[in-house]
A and B are shown apart, each in its own frame.
Chain A
Amino acid sequence: MGQAIAFYTLAACILGFGVLVITAKNTVHSVMFLVVNFLFVAGLYVLLGAQFLAVIQVVVYAGGIVVLYLFVVMLVNLKRPPEAHQDRRRRGRLGVTCSLVVLAELVAIAAYKYVSPAAGLPPALPMGPDNVAQVGMLLYTDYLIPFELASMLLLVAMVGAIVLAKRDL
Chain B
Amino acid sequence: MTPITPVHYMVLSAALFIIGVIGVMTRRNIIVILMSIELMLNAVNINLVAFSNLWQNAAGQVFVIFVICVAAAEAAVGLGIILAFYRNKETVNIDEMSLMRW
Contacts and interface: CB of A to CB of B under 8 A. Distances in A.
B25 interface: yes
Interface in A140-169: 142-143, 146, 150, 153-154, 156-158, 160-165, 167
B72 A124 contact: no
A11 B12 contact: yes
A14 B58 contact: no
B22 A154 contact: no
B32 A153 contact: no
Given A22-B26, A123-B56, A139-B65, A15 B87 contact: no
Pick the most buried of A19, A27, A48, A105: most chain B CB atoms within 10 A of its CB: A48
A76 B83 contact: yes
B56 A65 contact: no
Q: Which residue, of A135, A143, A146, has the highest number of chain B Cβ atoms within 10 A?
A: A135
Most buried by B among A50, A98, A110, A134: A50
Given A37-B42, A161-B76, A127 B25 contact: no
A113 interface: yes
A106 B71 CA distance: 26
A140 B53 CA distance: 20
Dominant secondary structure at the A interface: helix
Interface residues of A, number: 82
A41 B32 contact: no
A129 interface: no
Given A94-B22, A109-B7, A138 B68 contact: no
B28 A85 contact: yes
Given A57-B68, A75-B83, A164-B83, A127 B38 contact: no
Interface of A: 1, 3-4, 7, 11, 14-15, 18-19, 21-22, 27, 30-31, 34, 37-38, 41, 44-45, 48-50, 52-53, 56-57, 60-61, 64-65, 68-69, 71-73, 75-76, 78, 81-85, 91, 94, 98, 101-102, 105-106, 109-110, 112-113, 121, 123-127, 131, 134-135, 138-139, 142-143, 146, 150, 153-154, 156-158, 160-165, 167
28 contacts: A3-B3, A14-B16, A21-B39, A22-B26, A31-B35, A41-B45, A44-B46, A53-B61, A61-B68, A65-B38, A65-B75, A69-B79, A82-B29, A82-B93, A83-B28, A98-B22, A110-B7, A113-B7, A127-B57, A131-B61, A134-B58, A138-B59, A138-B62, A143-B62, A146-B66, A154-B72, A157-B73, A157-B76
